[in-house]
Amino acid sequence: MSTASLDIAAQGAAIGIWPFVIGLVLVALLIGAFWMGIRVRRREPAPPRPEEQPRVPEGGPVGEVLENREPDEVPRGRDRLTPHQLKEHGNLGSRTSATQGRPRWDEGSSGAFGSGGSGGR
């Protein structure tokens, strides 16, 4: 074997070592991440036991309430209002409406808001 072929063989071996070293580093990082995940998981609180789970109220499940609410008036002023300046942050301060019937579309109307046309005629 000549010196040139030995040099080529040595370069080939050096090139083949680097992927192996990088692979070992990646495996070490993955093992470290797995170990750290186990440590973090041990510090977390345990899941609730069956007796700690929420229960249905004594009177049974709470039903859905359908009702029409009257909106509160928006205060008029010169400055623009931000949501936190409104009373009770939206509809929390509203009252039950005197009429509980649902609003219906007029017969022959398209129902489109602001359409201006006669609707279905």
- What is the H or E stretch that residue 69 is in? strand 69-70
3-state secondary structure of 87: helix
- pLDDT, tens only, 77-96: 788 877 777 766 554 566 77
Do 5 and 13 meet the contact criterion of CB atoms below 8 Å apart? no
Paired strand residues for 57: none
Average pLDDT over residues 36-55: 92
CA atoms of 38 and 86, how far apart (whole Å): 48
Judge whether residue 72 has pLDDT over 90: no
Residue 61's pLDDT band (boundaries 50, 70, 90)?
A: confident
Helices in the chain by DSSP H: which ranges? 3-43
When the pLDDT of each residue in the chain is averaged and rounded to a whole number, the result is 77
Prediction pTM value: 0.36
